[in-house]
Structure 1
Amino acid sequence: MEVLMEKELNRTDIELCLAFPTSSRRAFSMPEGETAVYFEATDTLEKKWNFRLSRRSVITGDWLQFVRDKGLKVGDKIFMWREEGATGVRYTVRAETKIFGVWVNVQ
Structure 2
Amino acid sequence: MDKKLSRTDIECRLAFSTSSLWAFSIPEGETAVYFEATDTLEQEWNFRLSIRGENDPYTKPVITGDWLQFVRDKGLKVGDKISLWREEGVTGVRYRIRAERMIFKVWVTVQ
The alpha carbon displacement at 1:30 in A equals 0.9
Segments of structure 1 that go 5 or more residues without pairing to the other structure are: none
Determine the C-alpha separation between the residues in 2 that align with 1:53 and 1:105. Answer: 24
Which whole-Å deviations, capped at 9, do the CAs of 1:42-64 have from their partners, x for residues lacking one?
00000000010001400000000
1:41 to 29, 37, 60: 37
Runs of 4 or more consecutive aligned structure 1 residues displaced over 6 Å after TM superposition = none
Percent of aligned pairs sharing the same letter = 79
1:16 counterpart = 2:12: yes
Matched residue, 1:72:
76
**TM-score, with structure 1 as normaliser:** 0.92
Asked whether 1:106 is paired with 2:110, we answer yes
In the alignment, the residues of structure 1 paired with residue 67 and residue 93 of structure 2 have an alpha-carbon distance, to the nearest angstrom, of 20
Deviation at 1:99, TM superposition (A): 2.0
TM-score (norm 2): 0.89
Query: Which string of whole-angstrom CA distances, capped at 9 and with x for unpartnered residues, describes residues 12-68 of structure 1?
Result: 000000012201112111112212000000000000000100014000000000000
1:61 paired residue number: 65
Question: Which residue pairs with 1:97 in the alignment?
Answer: 101
For residues 69 and 36 of structure 1, what CA distance do their matches in structure 2 show? 25
Deviation at 1:95, TM superposition (A): 0.4
CA distance in 2 between partners of 1:35 and 1:79 (Å) = 23
Matched length: 103
**Bigger fraction of residues in strand:** 1
Q: Distance in 1 between matches of 2:83 and 2:102?
A: 14
